[in-house]
Chain A
Amino acid sequence: MLDLDMTPYAAFVWPAWGVSALVLTTLTARAVIASRKWKLELDRLDIAADEAARPQAARSAVEPKERPQAALGAVGQQE
């Protein structure tokens, strides 16, 4: 059975739990956002590096002509 009546110590108990929840949520959100950001960035660079490493003939045989230029442009935006 939950007891949520903290009288007369509500002013101490709820801030302790509230701030703990806020800090732990912020830590979690920050970790997840940073993880996704760098994963996406690494995936993008890996794809761009693979594109650049493929021979020009192989690229033009399987893809439209604009694609390699777009990929190279994406790498250039990182600099």
Chain B
Amino acid sequence: MFGLSNPQRFMAFTGPLTPVLWGLAAVLLGVGAWLSFSVPADYQQGDTVRIMFVHVPAATLGLGAYAALGVSSFFALVFRHALADAAARAAALPGAAFTALALFTGSLWGQPMWGTWWVWDARLTSVLVLFLFYLGYMALRASIDDEQKAGRAAAVLGLVGLINLPIVKFSVDWWNTLHQPASFLTPGSSGLDPVYLPPFLTMLAAYGALFAALWLTAIRTEIRRRRVMTLRARSAQEA
């Protein structure tokens, strides 16, 4: 695993893996969408239950991408590893997009079910804070010209933001919220009608594969971009 921290080995390993992930994501998204509109409407929520198949995977990947960003930031900060810095940077945009999708689709789900687009309860607010951490991370990186300084400053912010992840996860248990408690990862029973499990798990896997493909592609692009910058700087020095 640590052998992959060498950019050349990483490029060689992920070269054939990335197209497989893109293909897997496309197939799973197609199958997941078909399954999502094939299951019957919920007896209480009606057809709005189909929003769950895009909302929950987006929220899960929003959290997962930040975990990837935070862990990569730790390695970038402690070991000053360029690939870890590239991995942290590459996770930011997809993570922010997934979190924004979770907020948007959650709002569309909340209006017909709760009677409101938004409420400042612990779960919704902590997810909004997560989105702001993503925006802050990207803004901080963009605001400092020196890439090494930008990487270190952003890594510190990325690590601080990790504190928010357990708050998001356990907010529905620690506080009284309008948002329902965890119903899938509940020990003993999923709490989800078995008829909804195939589309839910397929869409979750599809979003996971898509994030993996996006992340690996972005890391590979970042490695190439840095190589181009190095070659240009070398060429300028020789000229």
B183 at interface by CB-CB < 8 Å: no
| Number of residues of chain B lying within 8 A (CB) of chain A | 43
- Which B127-152 residues sit within 8 Å CB-CB of chain A? none
* A75 & B235 in contact (Cβ 8 Å cutoff): yes
Q: Given A12-B109, A16-B104, A79–B239 Cβ distance below 8 Å?
A: yes
Contacts A17-B51, A24-B29, A31-B217 aside, 4 further interface pairs with beta carbons under 8 A come to A16-B105, A19-B101, A35-B220, A42-B224
Point out residues on B near A: beta carbons under 8 Å.
22, 29, 33-34, 37-38, 40-41, 46-48, 50-51, 54-55, 58, 93-94, 97, 100-101, 104-105, 108-109, 111-112, 210, 213-214, 217-218, 220-221, 224-225, 227-228, 231-232, 235-236, 239
CA distance A76 to B239 in the complex (A): 9
Q: Given A19-B104, A31-B221, A42-B228, A13–B48 Cβ distance below 8 Å?
A: yes
* B108 & A12 in contact (Cβ 8 Å cutoff): yes
Name B's interface SS.
helix
* B37 & A4 in contact (Cβ 8 Å cutoff): yes
Per a CB cutoff under 8 Å, which of B112, B225, B235 touches A79? B235
The 0/1 profile, CB within 8 Å of B marked 1, for residues 31-43 of chain A is 1101100110110
* B112 & A9 in contact (Cβ 8 Å cutoff): yes
Name A's interface SS.
helix
* B97 & A27 in contact (Cβ 8 Å cutoff): yes
Task: Give the nearest-CB partner of B46 in chain A.
Answer: A9
CA distance A34 to B94 in the complex (A): 14
Q: Distance (Å) between the CB of B36 and the closest chain A CB?
A: 8
Q: Given A2-B37, A16-B51, A35–B101 Cβ distance below 8 Å?
A: no
Sort A-B residue pairs by CB-CB distance and give the 8 closest, nearest first. A38-B224, A16-B105, A20-B54, A6-B47, A45-B231, A16-B51, A16-B108, A31-B217
* A32 & B228 in contact (Cβ 8 Å cutoff): no
Q: Given A6-B47, A23-B97, A45-B231, A38–B109 Cβ distance below 8 Å?
A: no
